[in-house]
Chains A and B, each alone.
Chain A
Amino acid sequence: MAELARNGTPVQNEKVKEESVSLWKEGWRSFKKNKMALVGTGIVLFFILLAVFAPVIAPYEINDQNLSMRLKAPSSEHVFGTDDFGRDIFSRVIYGARISLWVGFFSVLGSVIVGSLLGIIAGYYGRWIDGMISRIFDIMLAFPSILLAIGIVAVLGPSLKNALIAIAIINIPNFGRLIRSRVLSIKQEEYIMAAKAIGMSDARILFHHILPNSMAPIIVQGTLAIATAIIEAAALGFLGLGAQPPNPEWGKMLADSKDYLTQAPWTMVFPGLAIMLTVLGFNLMGDGLRDALDPRMKN
């Protein structure tokens, strides 16, 4: 035995105290080096802070109407000007971050949960269940997604919550497919073969091996999906199918000020910029995460 150990011990020049580095840590290290990703994270954090501290930052009550102060151009008093109710656009844009982030995050969370579940079932059990679930995904993906969302909101009635649900639903097949393909490819990996060979049960393989190894692409895709979800929510808001007044949702703000484009462009410019910046932040962050966590997903 002692002899064995000696024969085997190959480590002589190695530092004994090398720390243990998981793929997550490794990912974080390379993420930290990605400047664009950091900028993106910065933007996202900025908006999260805005959302959290909105009551502190916002100089005005968002629903304080003052019809005598309608459509005032940006000034030192109202940095972004006022809207057609004489409300402070700056404050409303800040509160809008709450709504957009909330919708973005929870709709994606919803689609991740449902999509992963369906994807795992389809990928792991295969056969007719896979056939059925995959067909449903095909069908949902063949719909123009915004139409599907409009339809769902029309059924449920327009409200922020229902817009969130609709966005979650239309994103389910994306995650479902992602997870399914991950499961299928991980199923082929040798370490799953190895897990089977040591007599592991299906459930354990699923939850201890396949799921953790699917996390990275889910996080990456999830981050990018938040970006799209925010745009989708704004689009629904723009069509009047999302947030209801007086909620300062960005898309809704755009819709409300559409008529003032010529006389009061600031009512349109700032909410639009807010949407774009937030989405850009998530996209940058998602790109960075992809490079760091899941280089295979590149295209």
Chain B
Amino acid sequence: GKSEKTSGEKTGGKGDTAQDTLVYGRGGDSVSLDPAVVTDGESLKVTKNIFDTLLDYNDGDTSVQPALATKWEVSPDGLTYTFKLRQGVKFHDGTDFNAEAVVFNFERWANGNADTFPYYGSMFGGYKNDESHVIKEVKALDEYTVQFVLKRPQAPFLKNIAMTPFAIASPAAVKKYGDKFGENPVGTGPFVFKEWKRNERIVLEKNENYWLEGYPKLNQLIFVSIPDNSARLNALLKGEIDLMEDLNPSDLNQLEGNKDFRIFKRPSMNVGYVGLTTTRGPLKNKLVRQALNYAVDKKAIIDAFYSGQAEPAKNPMPPSIPGYNDAIEDYPFDLEKAKQLLAEAGYPNGFEMELWAMPVPRPYMPDGQKVAEAIQANFEKIGVKAKIVSYEWATYLDKAAKGEADAFLLGWTGDNGDADNFLYALLDKDSIGSNNYTYYSNDELHKILVEAQTVSDENKRNELYKKAQEIIKEDAPWIPLVHSTPLLAGKANIEGFNPHPTGSDKFTKVEFK
């Protein structure tokens, strides 16, 4: 850790001063480097830099901008999308990027199934022969024009197209490596895959022929896995890494006074919540759920365990997403009111229940156990005795999905910045069994959410979502806790790094000053 100078010399041999290798410390390793086959963020963080998508998100939000596609047109019925592709782009293996390549990739995914290309199915309603499959066909109109024909309108279609998983891979390489493509990724992105040492590091090198003139700035990009948050911070402090994610909010003050380092805040696109399983015991009662909502002191929790780097949540989706209902008033922290509601519901002396605590840190919940402990203490005050239970992550999800938890901590990070990706995915009755762990089922809400999926008028859609949020607030299947601001920390001389709300960052413009 102490030989920063020597290694600086080694890696950045040319420049005397400027460093051109960035070591990015993160919590876990990737599963595969084929973005289409994975669902985990750790894989996508890397592939984002190896591959490009047709469209990309803007820095800092989820509106789309050109990437491999330079222009696009939507037919008025919302069923045909025509993309003009960037010319002269080459894959890392030297083959050309063109419309055929785009078609090849989409065909590949559409011919798959939920197991092989999970994200495709969930974002585009299924696969080739499925009734619900949204995409009717993908055609190459000419060498640099691709046309998508949909079966029915899909409001977030462009946002979906911009998602990291739908990155365009070299057809030649896909054919060449077959199953092993995930270990030999070839894309058009700013960095070229060089080496992967499992559970330790992935090394990417500058793509000299990148289509964005003058970029990337870095010569090498290294992702290293350091599971423990404090260990990662130590590594940063000792110069072993340059940039780290998932900084413990509690470590914030340690860095704040330090001139050598700076904090990066990832715009929030998440929600952390307490799920109240609506089919279990006293929680069946709406009044009880509301009472519990009154009993949680979100502010104190945020101060203590997020170091203030979060805002209290009142809705199941973050404010940055269109359709957010800011008019809603949150349940205030009011123990008297809570007690009163409990009494009304027939539990004047409270009751006992389990409160499940997440065993793993997530951006929206850096320490589930502690948040649970704080909430436990809150509940105690209104006579609700919560026993904290924790399972391993796998078991936790499995059991919670089966509705075995009374109250549980969980959260969600948006994939594409669309309200549907929150409200429908998490609280619609269709999602029971997948991501609606509370078993909350409201027909009125269902109708609204389904309607919103096909409405292409932005304003109309937003109205529908606002209505939905009102219903949810009233039924209180959750105690929305926070929209956290995930923290990153890095060397003070890093420039051009704007953490993206989706959690996957492109390092094209990053450099050391």
Residues of A bordering B, CB below 8 Å: 63, 65, 67, 70, 84-85, 154, 157-159, 240, 244-246, 256, 258-263
Contacts and interface: CB of A to CB of B under 8 A. Distances in A.
B300 A256 contact: no
A261 B331 CA distance: 36
Contact of B230 (A63, A159, A246, A259): A259
A65 B377 contact: yes
Contacts of B250: 84, 259-260, 263
* 7 closest residue pairs by CB, A with B: A245-B373, A65-B377, A67-B304, A67-B300, A245-B388, A244-B388, A259-B248
Contacts of A259: 229-230, 248, 250-251, 367
B389 interface: yes
B190 to A, nearest CB: 34
Contacts of A85: 304, 370, 373-374, 377
Interface of B: 229-230, 248, 250-251, 253-254, 300, 303-305, 357, 359, 367, 369-370, 372-374, 376-377, 380, 387-392, 395
Given A65-B374, A259-B250, A262-B254, A158 B391 contact: yes
Contacts of B387: 244
Contacts of B370: 84-85, 245, 256
20 contacts: A63-B377, A65-B373, A65-B377, A67-B303, A70-B304, A85-B304, A154-B392, A154-B395, A158-B390, A159-B389, A244-B357, A244-B387, A244-B390, A245-B388, A246-B377, A256-B370, A259-B229, A259-B230, A261-B230, A263-B250
Contacts of A245: 357, 369-370, 372-373, 376, 388
A263 B230 contact: no
B390 A246 contact: no
B194 to A, nearest CB: 34
A67 B297 CA distance: 11
Contacts of B254: 262-263
Interface of B is mostly: helix
Contacts of B376: 245-246
A245 B386 CA distance: 11
B253 A67 contact: no
A95 to B, nearest CB: 15
A244 B389 contact: yes
A159 B359 CA distance: 13
A52 to B, nearest CB: 25
A83 to B, nearest CB: 10
A244 B250 CA distance: 22
Nearest to A244: B388
Given A84-B250, A245-B369, A240 B390 contact: yes
Nearest to A263: B254
A240 B248 CA distance: 18
Contact of A67 (B230, B372, B374, B389): B374
Contacts of A246: 373, 376-377, 388
A271 to B, nearest CB: 16
B304 A84 contact: yes
Nearest to B361: A259
Q: Which of A85, A259, A262 has the most CB of B within 10 A?
A: A259
Interface of A is mostly: loop
Contacts of B230: 258-259, 261-262
A156 to B, nearest CB: 10
Nearest to B251: A259
Contacts of B253: 263
B391 A157 contact: yes
A40 B367 CA distance: 38
A239 to B, nearest CB: 10
Contact of A256 (B248, B303, B304, B369): B369
Contacts of A157: 389, 391, 395
B387 to A, nearest CB: 8
A245 B388 CA distance: 6
A268 to B, nearest CB: 11
Given A65-B374, A158-B391, A262-B230, 20 more contacts: A67-B300, A67-B303, A70-B304, A84-B250, A84-B304, A84-B305, A85-B304, A85-B370, A85-B377, A154-B395, A157-B389, A157-B391, A157-B395, A158-B392, A159-B389, A240-B369, A244-B389, A245-B372, A259-B367, A260-B250
Contacts of A240: 359, 369, 390
A63 B254 CA distance: 27
A194 B208 CA distance: 91
A189 B480 CA distance: 72
Nearest to B376: A246
Nearest to B229: A259
Nearest to B228: A258
Nearest to B304: A67
A157 B388 CA distance: 12
Contacts of A159: 389
Nearest to B389: A244
A261 B251 CA distance: 10
A71 B373 CA distance: 16
Contacts of B389: 157, 159, 244
A63 B387 CA distance: 13
Contacts of B300: 67
Contacts of A70: 304
A19 to B, nearest CB: 55
Nearest to A157: B391
A159 B392 CA distance: 12
A36 B110 CA distance: 74
Contacts of A158: 390-392
A85 B297 CA distance: 14
Contacts of B367: 259
Contacts of B373: 65, 85, 245-246
B359 to A, nearest CB: 6
Nearest to B399: A157
A166 to B, nearest CB: 14
Contacts of B357: 244-245
Contacts of A67: 300, 303-304, 374
A157 B387 CA distance: 14
A77 to B, nearest CB: 20
A164 B390 CA distance: 16
B333 to A, nearest CB: 13
Contacts of A244: 357, 387-390
B413 to A, nearest CB: 22
Contacts of A84: 250, 304-305, 370
A259 to B, nearest CB: 5
A259 B234 CA distance: 11
B226 to A, nearest CB: 14
A70 B300 CA distance: 11
Q: Which of A65, A154, A261, A263 has the most CB of B within 10 A?
A: A65
A183 to B, nearest CB: 40
A157 to B, nearest CB: 6
A261 B233 CA distance: 12
A266 B353 CA distance: 33
A164 to B, nearest CB: 17
A85 B367 CA distance: 13
Nearest to B253: A263
Nearest to A70: B304
